[in-house]
Amino acid sequence: MANEVVLLDTWVSSFGMRVRIALAEKGIKYEYKEEDLRNKSDLLLKMNPVHKKIPVLIHNGKPVCESLIIVQYIDEVWNDSSPLLPADPYQRAQARFWADFIDAKVQSVTRRVWTTKGEEQEAAKKEYFETFKILEGELGDKPYFGGETFGFVDIALVTLYSWFYVYESFGNFSMEAEFPKIMTWVKRCMQKESVAKTLPDQKKVYGLVVDLRKKLGLD
Amino acid sequence: MAEEVLLFGVWGSPFSRRVEMALKLKGVEYKYMEEDITNKSPALLKYNPIHKKIPVLVHNGKPIAESQVILEYIDETWQGYSLLPKDPYQRAVARFWAKFIDDKCLQPVFKACWGEEKDREKAAEEATELLKFLEEELKEKRFFGGESIGMVDIVASIIAFWLGVFEEASGVKLLTTEKFPKLCNWAHEFVSNGVIKENLPPRDKLIAYFRNRFGGANASK
């Protein structure tokens, strides 16, 4: 049976981008379906009835949900090249720990940086800075979070690069000034075709957020 | 070099108990260190500087934190009993449900039992909707893992045992046999399992603890 791979996603989702990068790293051909989250398709509701969210990977008709779970699934099924997770169980545990940290700490604070004002925003910025400081510490002098090669943790974090201009603009700070090591790492990741071709232009994401803020009544 | 496995935990915590269940099912010898979370040991702070939380597993001096990360590590490191299926799709499904329980279910369940009076009803409705998904996922299986206890069952021990404790301590009833016949059946089977039974904290002690800590004026007598 032919390998049929479909991805339900939205172009701007930093979660969906993780899956797209993983698919590109493995050279997997797939059908991309852009979802309108204000008008979710029947397919999405059927494939992810619990959360009704993107991304959803549909492999030979069977759905896999949750971006990091999908990336691990891709790594385990297409296991003949470009490993995304380390082979050693301890290194794998560290990779899973940091990916979990990114979801639990980073993803949750970034939204508050561009949707809040005043004191609430200052608190969000402080938390954002603390979190990225920890990440810079973890990166250290390594080329990638995984060490010598691009992997799971890099995939989990680099997709936020397309949103940096949003955080910088509404949070009024510069990632380059505050986190030069992170930016060096970002530039290194962007040398990879899978990342460069997947991440949308920062200004395009910013444009969408400007519209979104108006709709949310923030501006 | 002899193998050294340390586990930092708290007697009543479902998160450190799930690691113990996994270690016992695998037949791994370990040394347990009880933590006082109001006075964290230097060792804990050294081994989990990021979150400063239990559980932490230390294997030959190398620490692993976050209970679900630890469970996967245990499954990959020690052979024998399998906590996760071998098939990648089944693994993805198991990971999905384990994440669902921790990310979605715990907060509403807790709020329904221990939240402010005005928040409880809404939290209970939310918890009921979420538990329905688990009821459906169980289908005709004996355990979430199929014929034998797997990672999802271990993560769901919070529902099999701790929820019952919350219910008795708070007087709030969520997991009824009318609404959740399969889940109730599963819970009973799970806590009756030999290895699991030995690794659950003493029920009365736990009830008293929760009543004391979270009950206050809200708790029923």
pLDDT in tens, B129-141: 999 999 999 999 9
Predicted local confidence at residue B1, as pLDDT: 54
The answer to whether A16 touches A7, Cβ cutoff 8 Å, is yes
pLDDT at B91 over 60: yes
Phi, psi of B155 (to 5 degrees): -65, -40
Nearest CA among A164, A156, A177 for reference residue A206: A164
Percent of chain B with pLDDT over 70: 97
Distances (CA, A) of B199 to A85, B74, B129, B196, B204: 32, 17, 29, 5, 15
SS3 A34: strand
Looking at the DSSP assignment, which residues form a beta bridge with residue A7?
Answer: A32, A57
Higher pLDDT, B48 or B217: B48
Contact status of A26 with chain B (Cβ, < 8 Å): no
Q: Angle between the A107-115 and A118-139 helix axes, to the nearest 10 degrees?
A: 150
**Residue among B59, B62, B69 whose CB faces A96 most closely:** B69
DSSP, res B48: -
User: How does pLDDT run across A167-205, given as a tens digit for each residue?
Assistant: 999 999 999 999 999 999 999 999 999 999 999 999 999
Distances (CA, A) of B112 to A213, B115, B165: 33, 6, 13
Q: Angle between the A164-171 and A118-139 helix axes, to the nearest 10 degrees?
A: 140
Predicted local confidence at residue B219, as pLDDT: 47
Identify the helix (H) or strand (E) that includes residue A124. helix A118-139
Contact status of A34 with chain B (Cβ, < 8 Å): no
Q: Do B92 and A93 touch (CB under 8 A)?
A: no
Longest CA pairwise span in chain A (Å): 57
A77-80: long-range pairs with CB below 8 Å, 24+: A77/B88, A78/A26, A78/A28
pLDDT at B154 over 80: yes
Predicted local confidence at residue A7, as pLDDT: 98
Nearest CA among B7, B11, B48 for reference residue B31: B7
Q: Which two tokens stand for residue B86?
A: 């071998």
The mean per-residue pLDDT over the stretch A127-139 comes to 97
Question: Exposed/middle/buried for A141, CB within 10 Å: 0-12, 13-18, 19+?
Answer: exposed
The mean per-residue pLDDT over the stretch A41-55 comes to 98
C-alpha span between B179 and B186 (Å, rounded): 14
Q: Which two tokens stand for residue A140?
A: 């250290």
Task: Give chain B's mean pLDDT.
Answer: 95
Q: Do B92 and A72 touch (CB under 8 A)?
A: yes
Chain A interface test: which of B5, B66, B101 (most A C-beta within 10 Å):
B66
Predicted local confidence at residue B215, as pLDDT: 78
The answer to whether B67 touches B16, Cβ cutoff 8 Å, is yes
Predicted local confidence at residue B163, as pLDDT: 96
SS3 A38: coil
pLDDT band (50, 70, 90) for residue B2: confident
Classify residue A27 as left (phi > 0), alpha (psi -120 to 50) or beta: left
pLDDT at B217 over 80: no
Nearest CA among A214, A100, A136, A121 for reference residue A172: A121
C-alpha span between A90 and A99 (Å, rounded): 14
Looking at the DSSP assignment, which residues form a beta bridge with residue A62?
Answer: A59
pLDDT band (50, 70, 90) for residue B216: low
Predicted local confidence at residue A159, as pLDDT: 98
d(CA A184, nearest CA chain B) in Å:
23
Predicted local confidence at residue B186, as pLDDT: 98
Distance of CA A97 to the CA centre of its chain: 16
Chain A interface test: which of B5, B73, B151 (most A C-beta within 10 Å):
B73
pLDDT at A94 over 50: yes
Q: Do B76 and A76 touch (CB under 8 A)?
A: no
User: How does pLDDT run across A57-66, given as a tens digit for each residue?
Assistant: 999 999 999 9
C-alpha span between B46 and B184 (Å, rounded): 40
d(CA A97, nearest CA chain B) in Å:
6
The mean per-residue pLDDT over the stretch B78-98 comes to 97
Identify the residue whose tokens are 């059946």: B185
Predicted local confidence at residue A119, as pLDDT: 96
The mean per-residue pLDDT over the stretch A103-122 comes to 93
The mean per-residue pLDDT over the stretch B179-186 comes to 97
Alpha helices in chain B (DSSP H): 14-26, 42-47, 67-77, 88-100, 106-114, 117-138, 151-155, 157, 163-170, 181-192, 194-198, 203-210
Q: Which two tokens stand for residue A106?
A: 């980073």
Predicted local confidence at residue B214, as pLDDT: 86
Predicted local confidence at residue A218, as pLDDT: 85
- A64 contact residues in B (CB cutoff 8 A): 89, 92, 96
Percent of chain A with pLDDT over 90: 95
Predicted local confidence at residue B39, as pLDDT: 96
Looking at the DSSP assignment, which residues form a beta bridge with residue A147?
Answer: A144
C-alpha span between B108 and B124 (Å, rounded): 7
